[in-house]
Structures are given as C-alpha cells and as structure tokens.
Structure 1
Amino acid sequence: MLSNREGQRVPDVTFRVRKDSNWLSVTTDELFTGKTVIVFSLPGAFTPTCSSTHVPGYNDLAPVFKENGVDDIVCISVNDAFVMNEWAKDQKADEITFIPDGNGEFTDGMGMLVDKTDLGFGKRSWRYSMLVKDGVIEKMFIEPDEPGDPFKVSDAETMLRYINPDAQKPMCVTLFTKVGCPFCARAKSMLQERGLVYDEIVLGRDATMRSLRAATGASTVPQVFIDGRLIGGSEALEKHLSA
C-alpha cells in the first residue's frame, strides 16, 4: 500500500552517482539539509510519460519555483547512475538534479517501491512528487493506486499551485527564423533584452517553409508565437512587447 509520509523525515540514504567518470557518494543530508527541495519520482528513465511530460514540466517551471523559495528540484528513479546521466543529457534538463536510486533504498524507505515485473522492469518507484523542507516532507502528491501509470497529481503545475497559486508562469515563446535573416536577428535581440527564453525553429534545419505556412499562414520570417498565439514578425513583436 502506498503511504503518505507528510510530516516525516526523508529516508537516510547514500546514493552512488557518476560525475566526470568518477564514482561519488551523495547523502540525503547533502541533498536536503537546510534547503527547500522539490522531489519528483517516476517509474523509469526514458519511459514515455516521464520523458515527454514529467521532466520537461519541472524543468520549464524551475525559474518560477526558485523565485518562490525552492532551492533545488530533484528527480529520483530506480535506475543506475549511467542510465540517469544519459537521460539527463537527452532531456537537456539543466535545472534538475537527477539522482539514481539504483538499489531502490530511498524509494523503499518512502513506501513507494512497487513491483513491475509484469513489464520486465522489476522493482520500480511509484510516481509521486513532494516538497521537502530541511529534510522534512511538508507535502506529497501521490498518483492514485490504479492500474497502469497514472499521471494526474505529481506534475509541476500541481506543485506550483500548492507553493503559490498566484505565481506567474513564464511565457512560452517560439520563434521561426532563417539563417542570415536580419529581421530574425532583431527579433531574437528583443527577446533576449527582455530576458525571455524562447525555442528557435530554423527553416531549412528544423522545419520547412511548408511547415511555416501550415503553422502561421505566412511565408516570411521571423514569425513569433507567445503562449500559443501568433504574434507575427519583428515589428508585431516589438509592438506586443511594448504594450
């Protein structure tokens, strides 16, 4: 049975991690003492929901969490250090600390070790998240005990609503550009000057002009999306940012 450990200390465990081809020991004291830490745990590295949603969600909201008093975001999975390191590289999740619970000791101590031998996984972690302050668990969000791999409450947005329901999430900005385009360079400069993080889609490398027309109805670059809304080119972006 899955157990809620709110009000209790995290298990006292030493993790074996790999850094720069060396083995290191990292204790739970090092991870949690004197800090406010978000932990989210999941069934396995490179698995679909974990890679497409769980990790990206926390990585994207990391700046907002830190503005609201969170010192670190830790992802724990019952995988070895080599797998976790490769997954971290693949995810490009620089705002998250990936911790391998290779022997499942931490997960077992949390009461979250489950049997997934039917999938060939062996013992793995149930999906959950928690807010830990100075080693004490303040809040846990545990996925419902039902078949499959439910993902309903351990996401980043649920955690952010708990920490600060009025927190302002960062704008989602996507920019279509073309190499050598001066207007594209101007658009990027405007976004950078305002400290706005953006995803750049380069025509000829990441997408085609047909993709641009399908997405925006336009055939010129740059084209900017902010929070799912098409803003337009560099002049429209300037007006939007000045409004």
Structure 2
Amino acid sequence: MSTQNVNFENKEGQKVPSVTFPMRVNDDWVKRDTQEIFAGKTVVVFSLPGAFTPTCSSSHLPRYNELASKFAENGVDEIICVSVNDTFVMNAWAADQDAENISFIPDGNGDFTDGMGLLVAKNEIGFGKRSRRYSMLVKDGVIEKMFIEPDLPGDPFEVSDADTMLAYINPEAVQTTKVSLFTKPGCPHCARAKDLLIKQGLAYEELTLGDEISISAMRAITNADTVPQIFIDGKHIGGADELAKYFA
C-alpha cells in the first residue's frame, strides 16, 4: 500500500476503487461492495482519519447527519462515512453518535482509501496508516467532485464539510439562517426542539444552563424562566411548542 502525504491525485471523472467491505451487522458478518453501494445511485462520501477523534465526532459527522434530509431533497441516495477502522469500532461510533442518517463503512484494511490514493502515514500519533480527510460526490460509481483537505500540520478541516458539499450540489440549499437555543441537561422539551431543528436541516448554537450560562443571564436575554428558548436570525421564537408552530 502507498502512503503518500502530498500531491494527492484528484480522481474526478474516474471510477471508485472496486472493494468489498466485511461488516458486522446484528451479530452477523455481511459484506457490502462498491458495486452495490454506488451502481445507479448518487452517493456522498466523506472520509476521515478515525472514529471517535475530536473533529470527526464534533463537526464532520454530525453536520452530514443533520443535513441528510437536505441532501436527499437534492438527489442524494445515501451518505457514506468511510474510515480506516474495523467494523466493531465503526459500529460503536455509530451508536455513540446516534447518526441514523449515515452509513458507516469500515475500510479496515485501507483498501478503498489506498485505491483512492489517499492513504497517509500517521505514525507520529500512533495511528499507523489512515485516510486523508476528504469528501466526494459519486454518481453511478464515477467521481464527479472531490474536496480534499490541504496538506497542512495537524488535522485541517476546511473543505470536506457537509455545507461545502451541499453548496456544490445546490447553492440555494445551504443554510443562511442563524439559530441559537438555551437548554439544560435532561430537558425533554429541549430535546424535542433540537429534533425539530435537525429535521429542518438547521444547525444551531446550543447554550447550556449551568455550563455555559446562568439562568439569570438567560432571563435577562429572553425574559423567560423556562427552557428551551430559541432564537432564529435574532428573533425570539420561544419554546418547543412555539418552534413547532413557527415551522408549521
């Protein structure tokens, strides 16, 4: 296997590598191959250095999951997350992230990533060979567009994000709305409000009482004592019931 670190080849216009992925599903071994995944479909792929790693868990994966309905509305049949991890790690990460809109593909041997020319050596942090962070749009097995992160120190995350991909597919679908909400841990109405926002494909800034902000500060801003309290583009919407009416 190659372990290039610079000058990655952009494979737009080429077919994806032909690879079979062994996977563990419901305590059984199954296989998915690239023919089944890509043939006759429009698929978004994003690949990252590793499951459970900070940027992957906090930003890269969650945003693709949030925007899944927007991608579907714009002709995407499936969103695939690929990582050079074994299937047990990928399954545990999927459960931890509750990312039901994403298909997790374990490239445990690195065959797919190597075929893409994006297998890199991360020995300095004990990872061995992993994937360069990138995303691509694949139509009927042919790569239409690739966004490959630059070769910079650390773990750059500048172009392979969900919003950049969605903007390529349909610029008018990208979120321009700014959403903030006050919440507190264990609040079922807060969970309902966040679910409503996710179903609308809206990212949000969450301000947690007792962690990031005090209830007195929230009261001064919202003139309310209960959570959640939601703001959209600076307008105070109110709680979960008011948010549901707003979207209706």
Q: Which range, TM-score by smaller chain?
A: 0.7 to 0.9
Q: Choose which of 220, 226, 230 in structure 1 pairs with 2:225.
A: 220
User: Following the alignment from structure 1 to structure 2, what is the Cα–Cα distance between the partners of residues 124 and 92?
Assistant: 24
User: Following the alignment from structure 2 to structure 1, what is the Cα–Cα distance between the partners of residues 168 and 87?
Assistant: 31
Aligned residues: 230
Structure 2, unaligned stretches of length 5 or more? 1-6
C-alpha displacement at 1:57, in angstroms?
A: 1.1
Q: Choose which of 38, 56, 61 in structure 2 pairs with 1:55.
A: 61
Q: Is 2:134 the partner of 1:131?
A: no
Contact 1:231-1:240 at 8 Å conserved across structures: no
Q: Choose which of 133, 150, 158 in structure 2 pairs with 1:152.
A: 158
Contact 2:45-2:138 at 8 Å conserved across structures: yes
In the TM superposition, what are the counterparts of 1:61-210 in structure 2 within 5 Å?
61-167=67-173, 169=175, 172=179, 174=181, 176=183, 207=209
Contact 1:64-1:170 at 8 Å conserved across structures: no
Summarize the Cα distance change of 1:134–1:173 in structure 2 as closer, same or farther, 3 Å threshold.
Answer: farther
Three-state SS of the structure 2 residue aligned to 1:83 is helix
Task: Give 1:17's aligned residue.
Answer: 23
Three-state SS of the structure 1 residue aligned to 2:171 is coil
Q: Percent identity?
A: 53
Summarize the Cα distance change of 1:60–1:212 in structure 2 as closer, same or farther, 3 Å threshold.
Answer: farther
User: Following the alignment from structure 1 to structure 2, what is the Cα–Cα distance between the partners of residues 235 and 95?
Assistant: 23
Summarize the Cα distance change of 1:242–1:76 in structure 2 as closer, same or farther, 3 Å threshold.
Answer: closer
Three-state SS of the structure 1 residue aligned to 2:67 is helix
C-alpha displacement at 1:216, in angstroms?
A: 4.9
Amino acid at match of 2:225: T
Task: Give 1:202's aligned residue.
Answer: none
User: Following the alignment from structure 1 to structure 2, what is the Cα–Cα distance between the partners of residues 242 and 151?
Assistant: 32
RMSD, aligned α-carbons: 3.4
Summarize the Cα distance change of 1:136–1:230 in structure 2 as closer, same or farther, 3 Å threshold.
Answer: same
Amino acid at match of 2:101: E
Summarize the Cα distance change of 1:6–1:198 in structure 2 as closer, same or farther, 3 Å threshold.
Answer: closer
User: Following the alignment from structure 1 to structure 2, what is the Cα–Cα distance between the partners of residues 29 and 101?
Assistant: 15
C-alpha displacement at 1:30, in angstroms?
A: 1.0
User: Following the alignment from structure 1 to structure 2, what is the Cα–Cα distance between the partners of residues 109 and 151?
Assistant: 22
Amino acid at match of 1:21: D
Summarize the Cα distance change of 1:118–1:237 in structure 2 as closer, same or farther, 3 Å threshold.
Answer: same
Amino acid at match of 1:91: Q
Three-state SS of the structure 2 residue aligned to 1:37 is strand
Task: Give 1:203's aligned residue.
Answer: none
C-alpha displacement at 1:43, in angstroms?
A: 0.4
Summarize the Cα distance change of 1:80–1:225 in structure 2 as closer, same or farther, 3 Å threshold.
Answer: same
User: Following the alignment from structure 1 to structure 2, what is the Cα–Cα distance between the partners of residues 227 and 238?
Assistant: 10
Contact 1:2-1:145 at 8 Å conserved across structures: no
Give TM-score, length-normalised by structure 1. Answer: 0.81
Amino acid at match of 1:72: E
Q: Once the two structures are superposed, what CA deviation does each residue of 1:154-205 show, in whole Å capped at 9, x if it has no partner?
A: 0011101100001154965746489999xx69xx69x96xx75899xxxxxx
Summarize the Cα distance change of 1:80–1:160 in structure 2 as closer, same or farther, 3 Å threshold.
Answer: same
Amino acid at match of 1:225: I
User: Following the alignment from structure 1 to structure 2, what is the Cα–Cα distance between the partners of residues 88 and 169?
Assistant: 25
Task: Give 2:4's aligned residue.
Answer: none
